[in-house]
Amino acid sequence: MKIDEFLKNPVGKGAIIPGRDNILMNLDYRLEVLQKYKEITMNIYTTETDAYYHLIIPSENKERDCSYDIIIKFKQSEKNDKFDQSYRQYQIEFFSNCPSFTYGYAYVANINGYLIKELADRYEPAVLKYPPVSKNPGLTFGYEKSIYFACKYIMADKKVLSKSYVDTYGQKLTPAILKSIRHMNVIEEEYKRADKVRRAEKRANKVKVDKKTKERKSEVLSQYKDGVKQNVNTVKKTKPIKSNKKIQPIKKKKWPVCKKVIFQLYII
């Protein structure tokens, strides 16, 4: 599988992925948001035939300070690959210690030949031995977010796949570099510590809010005495308005006396 083929359809050419367009739209949006708040870093390592793109991708959670190692290996599969000017036509293999890949796709990648063999020891043996029946019962290799983010990041600037770029900025792969890739257990410990720090910060913020609320409540209660609110500000008494004009009494109006008119009825 080549990097373009993975981005088009990781399941395989011709396979149908239900809701594919919505999945990709969601992943692209999440990657865009992630890059607004956090930084993705990348290093390139090489052997005589292959190139390893090592990305450190931070957690999407803004409050959680942890990250994951994702490696995309471009593997020379045919003799004429060495004459290509880019790694884009090379076959790719994956590694990620992001939990979503570890527990959902590492097993599938391994049995299908997509897992980087030299990094298999970065997982617990059980991860590659037992199928992820709860996380991925169909055992399909789909759009896992960390691998997708890494491939999209690489493809965003196509010159990073050129061999001339790699020759300039890449460095030789050593056993020490491979060993520096964090084990899944290290990631889980970092994840727990980050969550612990996050919870502690939330508790500290809650204490601050409670303190301010308590102070405000005390301030309000101090304005009351025996259940009656006291006037905090002194209100000046207003003086009556004096006038030199005498108020004339209202004269009673005499109504005219109506004379009674006697109507006589005459019978004709």
- Model confidence pLDDT, tens digit, residues 31-72: 999 999 999 999 999 999 999 999 999 999 988 889 999 999
Is the pTM higher than 0.85? The answer reads no
pLDDT for 39: 96
Domain boundaries, the chain: 3-201
The answer to whether residue 29 scores a pLDDT higher than 50 is: yes
Model pLDDT, residue 210: 60
The DSSP line for the chain is: --HHHHHH-TT-TT---TTHHHHHHHHHHHHHHHHHHS--EEEEEE-SS-EEEEEEEE-S-TT---EEEEEEEEE--SGGGGG-SBGGGSEEEEEE-SHHHHTTTHHHHHHTT-B-GGGGGGS-HHHHHS--TTT-TT------HHHHHHHHHHHTSGGGGBHHHHHHH-EE--HHHHHHSPPHHHHHHHHHHHHHHHHHHHHHHHHHHHHHHHHHHHHHHTTEETTEEPPSSPPPPPPPPP-SSPPPPPPPPPPPPPPP-PPPP---
The percent of residues above 90 in pLDDT, for the chain, comes to 62
The per-residue pLDDT for range 179-192, each reduced to its tens digit, is 999 999 999 999 88
Q: What is the pLDDT of residue 262?
A: 44
pLDDT of residue 250 exceeding 70 = no
**Mean per-residue pLDDT of the chain:** 85
